[in-house]
A and B are shown apart, each in its own frame.
Chain A
Amino acid sequence: MTDTNTTTKARGSTGLSRRRFTSLLLASGVSAPAILRASGARATDSVKMAALLDLSGGLDIYGRPMLMAMEMAVEEINATGGLNGKPLELITYDTQSNMQLYAQYAQQAALQDQVDLVHGGITSSSREVIRPILNRYNTLYLYSTQYEGGVCDRNTFCTGTTPAMTSKSPIPYTIDMWGPKFYSIGADYNAPRIMSDWSRTFGEQAGGEQVANDFFPLNVTEFGALITKIQQARPDFVCSALIGAAHLGFYRQWAAAGMLSEIPIFSFTFGSGNEHMMLPPEESEGIITPCSYFQEIDSALNRDWVSRYHARYGDDAPYQNNVSIGGYEGTWLWATAVRNAGTAEREAVIEAMEAGTSWTGPGGTLTMNAANHHSSRDIFFGRCTGGAWEPFHTWENQQPSDTDGRCDLIANPGQNVQFGAE
């Protein structure tokens, strides 16, 4: 290698780049109008719904059954005449448990495929990636899993449960049943923290006391130290918002330490990842959870739905829990609004939703709240018995009152925030 020669060559190429650089800066100004081209006419031959769900990677445990639920809703809607004479088309995007792909696919759904609704997002994190993008490109968004509540955004509708529904009545009920002292544990992120805050608020109103709240990273599998701490604190019950497969370790080690029969567990999240099926029955016996849906709910509508579900996907189809059934409920609620509006156009559907669109399905009746764009719904208190859920109490028509007095999208359509616990 002859050094001097190649070195000058390299210098030469940088010199060249400087000239190019300036011309490029000019080019960037010229190209700005291209954005105008994005707002083309939407396709009119079908109504399109985009499903943004994790169908592979760590979160597919939620995404796969949810997609099945969505597919069922879409098939039923098309079998009953479609939407205002047009078929409903489902476009699925596998976000592969990757936040970057949520952003990419939200852009693709809005700009390229020009869908009428984006439905999906599982974690709150993914929802917060999607939401600003869909706001920017004027595409309606529906988020249908249970979450920490508080989103206040005119372009977004939420149909899952919020802490106002799962804490307000269930926490006092549990305190009556088991005693006032509870020890809160949860996964270390916003939703469990906000759930823990709400359970303290409602617990204290009912004369209870939250003796501690501990949070654990999602990848923690070893809970020995926590169990010792709980044994020291001797609460009347444990209030859990643990999430994910790693945290199953807690329930297992808890049972192995012989605690299951001594200190009962109330959980906001147990069952959302089908924990009750992944644990042997003797390790989940007696855990109670308030939520919007169990496959075991004893109503004619639900029995019929479950049998149709198994007819469609086979006897070993995954259990539909309160998270995954959101795919079915959300799709139907939106479709009802589209039918009411007579069009899938965004503004008209928002107005139809705000007029209080209501739909009754296997989990009871959902009614959209105009002020905060969340739906009210029934809450079932379930007890884990022999590895299955046994609903033992029902609160009908629970309101999404998390943001009452704070969020009013009718009076103030420009609001776009997420509120925390009071």
Chain B
Amino acid sequence: MDLVLILTLQGVVAIATILLFSIGLAIIFGMMRVINLAHGEFMMIGAYGAVKSHEAGLNLWVAMLVVAPLVAALFGLVVERVLIRHLYGRLIDTLLATWGLSLFTVGVVTMIFGNTTSGVPTPLGTLRIGDYGLGQYNLVIVGVTLLVLALVALVLKRTSAGVLARATMQNPEMIAALGYNPRRIYAATFAIGSGLAGLAGGLLAPLTGVIPAMGVAFVAKAFITVISGGAAVILGTGTAAAIYGVISQSVTYVSTSVIGEASLFLAAIILLRLLPNGFAGRFFKGGV
């Protein structure tokens, strides 16, 4: 019984983690059609923001929840201005340019901070379930993920800014004709996506090693999740994260971690074949 409970909890944590590091990409790729291969580096910048500001004496929670997304969002604004702005509508070029950005950022961060960074401690204690233990911090991640999802859904669906953003992605000329500046809306959306990636990096900083190349471990999984999800940022990505989280976690428990990872990618290929437009195209048409 304890075992079932702890495994379920771990499944939930795994799903939340996938969702957390995919949501920023879901906005940048899902909405804006920018293939951001530097997604992992936005996370890395968030993580460094959290670690460095905590080292400088800032409260850990402020560092993770405020500084990390802010730093990444600022970086996103600069990147949008300098690089991405020239590439809207050129899908493959965004891939190549952000690949370059990824190499560049990793190199520059290594030059600035070196590659050994002391991590921030994992806050909170342990949740005991019979013989088993689970970090309470994991539950914080689940909570924050849910909160972020709710916020994003709320903004996109209920506020005029969100509706405007979604409309811009579909028809920028029309939005321009209505008197708005689509460039600003693009920039803002990109910054928000970057900020969410930074938030993920900040929140994961206490759980993983923070080094310049840390992004690599996340970027492929985030992409597969987002693409399987399709155009609906929340529902699509959410469903995909749930399916992949459950598959990789249960297969890893039953067999080995290698087969767990492989089964995730295999599931992705099969899903894409069955649902060429992602979950959104099939089940959540027009949803968020």
Contact = CB atoms under 8 A, between A and B. Distances in A.
A/B contact in complex, CB under 8 angstroms: yes
Contacts of A222: 14, 17
Interface string A226-266: 10110110100000000011111100110111110000000
Contacts of B134: 224, 256-257
A252 B208 contact: yes
Contacts of B288: none
A45 B176 CA distance: 72
A89 interface: no
Contacts of A216: 257-258
B3 interface: yes
A228 B14 CA distance: 14
A280 interface: yes
A57 interface: yes
Given A217-B261, A221-B208, A224-B13, A278 B119 contact: yes
Given A61-B211, A277-B118, 18 more contacts: A56-B107, A64-B115, A214-B257, A224-B13, A224-B134, A224-B138, A228-B6, A232-B3, A244-B209, A246-B209, A246-B217, A248-B209, A256-B206, A277-B116, A278-B117, A280-B118, A280-B121, A283-B121
A58 B115 CA distance: 9
A318 B211 CA distance: 14
A231 B132 contact: yes
A274 interface: yes
Contacts of B207: 221, 249, 252-253, 256
A188 interface: yes
A319 B117 CA distance: 12
Interface in A34-64: 56-58, 60-61, 64
B186 to A, nearest CB: 32
Contacts of B110: 56, 60
B263 interface: no
A318 B138 CA distance: 32
A220 interface: yes
Given A57-B213, A225-B252, A248-B208, A253 B114 contact: no
B181 interface: no
Interface size class of chain A, counting residues whose CB lies under 8 Å from the partner chain: 35 or more
B135 A257 contact: yes
B128 interface: yes
Interface residues of B, number: 48
Contact of A219 (B7, B211, B216): B216
Interface of B: 3, 6-7, 10, 13-14, 17, 107, 110, 114-122, 125-126, 128, 131-138, 206-211, 213-214, 216-218, 249, 252-253, 256-258, 260-261
B215 to A, nearest CB: 11
Interface string A191-219: 00000000000000000000000111101
A216 B255 CA distance: 12
A282 interface: yes
B118 A278 contact: yes
A384 to B, nearest CB: 13
A258 B128 contact: yes
Contacts of A224: 10, 13-14, 134, 138, 249
A277 B209 CA distance: 11
Contact of A280 (B119, B138, B253, B261): B119
Interface in A45-91: 56-58, 60-61, 64
Nearest to A249: B208
A57 B115 CA distance: 10
Contacts of A278: 116-119, 209-211
Nearest to A63: B115
Nearest to A251: B209
A45 B73 CA distance: 56
Nearest to A55: B110
Contacts of A226: 252, 257
A279 interface: yes
A252 B258 contact: no
B114 A318 contact: yes
Contacts of A58: 213, 216
Residue of A214, A246, A283 with highest tally of chain B CB at under 10 A:
A246
Nearest to B128: A258
Contacts of B135: 253, 256-258
A280 B17 CA distance: 22
Interface in A376-392: 387
Contacts of A258: 125-126, 128, 133, 135
A248 B217 CA distance: 12
B131 A217 contact: no
21 contacts: A56-B107, A64-B114, A214-B256, A214-B257, A215-B256, A215-B258, A217-B261, A224-B13, A224-B134, A226-B257, A228-B253, A245-B208, A247-B209, A248-B119, A249-B209, A252-B122, A252-B207, A253-B207, A256-B122, A256-B137, A283-B119
